[in-house]
Structure 1
Amino acid sequence: MKTINAMMLSLAALTIAGCSQNEVTEISPDAHPQVGFGVYTGVPTRGVDMTTESMKDDPTDANKYGGFGIMAYFTGQDNFETVKTTVTPSFMHNQMVKFDGTNNVWTYSPVKYWPNRQNDKISFFAYAPYESDWQNGSKSGVITSAATAPGIPYIKFKLKTTDKLDKMVDLVVADQRDKTYTAENGGKISFTFEHTLSRISFRAQLGAGDFDGMDGTNSFVYITHMWIVGTDHSADGSNLSLIDPASPVNANSKFYTSAKWSELHWN
């Protein structure tokens, strides 16, 4: 996976009470503070890249691609890796988190609380931008696994059609596993969001003469052939390494209109 930039997202003072992996009993927020959020990115906004500011856009706005979704797994005293074949995201499933610009805080509902038993663990998986239609991905193209699906959540991602390429989103993901509440951390969880997609841009500098009449509006340049690195160093294999057979190859590089992000990598 090529990481374009990273974003830091902090979840502070998350409080939850639990009985089992499939049963969570909430306690009064008067006894424990609710979760708070903060987002940081060290890279300026660039086009459609998911950044701190773009994530603050209202995810309920049909024309905006903001917010983020969380899948959370309560595993009790067990580590996530030990029980991942059976545990489901019953603690949080596609939980929408959005930015409250009036109070300058990240919010979600309903509020959840840390387990009240020492060493009880919760594992978190997050993605952005948020997709409310998680079964169809009608807005962003993001389809998530169901609340009954065990293990690391997967994402099915669909590219926009040619007439909607300007609405293409920058999918980012993060995870934090086996987290517990302690006096030292105050329940603070930090996510590092990483980009799962790479964007290719083209720019042509036209010379004088035959290109003088091209105005950039009614004139077009078409790319008729394109290759991507793979293991096959032949023309049929569509390999950029044709230029240099000794160059490194990437057996997993392909072109897709849709793909599945599973076990934290593309399949």
Structure 2
Amino acid sequence: MLDDFLVRAALAAFGLSIATGPLGAFVVWRRMAYFGDATAHAAILGVAFALIFSLPISLGTLIVALAMAGAISWMMSKGQSPDSGLGVLSFGALSAGLVAISFAPGVRVDLSAYLFGDILTVTRSDLVLVWGGALAVAAVIAWRWSKLLLATVSPDLAAASGVNPARESLVITVAIAVVVAVSLKVVGALLVSAMLIIPAAAARGVSNSPVQMVGVAVIASWIASGAGLWASLKLDTPAGPSIIVAAALIFALTTGYRTIRKQTA
């Protein structure tokens, strides 16, 4: 069955959704969309780093994504403006990666595969990487759920309860870096933050509790993945962007539903 490229693509997308659903909820709650963008853009610099030093792409991406997350956290701790700092680091890392790849000796790379993903070429080893990383992220979030939620809702209350808000923020930061590293081939550096944000944002409008929002976000990701792959097959469109378009349509539907529900309440 795994010889069918479309089945492997679907399995990769569904596996990634296990992590992007719960993690995306925290990204939305904490308003970390720009943070996710900056970490994802740094993935291209990670690709260049891996090619130059002959490392696995996922390892190079993870190293640079973690470095980017650490740099952003340091800048914010020093009182730098989050918006300007994230903008500088995000586009600086993306541009540096694009330039650095040109210096990789004897390497010719199709950058579109890393920028927008190439889910239809996912291999069995890629599936192991995606599912392993996604399950690890989901397990960590489930393990620290109450502490993460408390630190998100009220850092002061969390500190008074013996929970270190900075440590919980670090957990989210590392989780985002891991998701970026394992999802690069699925949706690409420019679209991974969309997979984190859009399904979670769609779920928020139709959910009554944090747990329900996470579940709806995962389901929305699955539906978007299936619909996007179907559209890619039938309409001959890029698979990664098609998945994001499907997710955006789901967001539009849930937003319309919420608006109608408020008007009729």
For the criterion TM > 0.5, the same-fold answer is no
TM normalised by structure 2 equals 0.26
Structure showing greater radius of gyration is 1
TM normalised by structure 1 equals 0.26
Whose helix fraction is larger, Structure 1's or Structure 2's?
A: 2
Q: Which structure ranks higher in relative contact order (CA pairs < 8 Å, sequence separation ≥ 6)?
A: 2
Whose strand fraction is larger, Structure 1's or Structure 2's?
A: 1
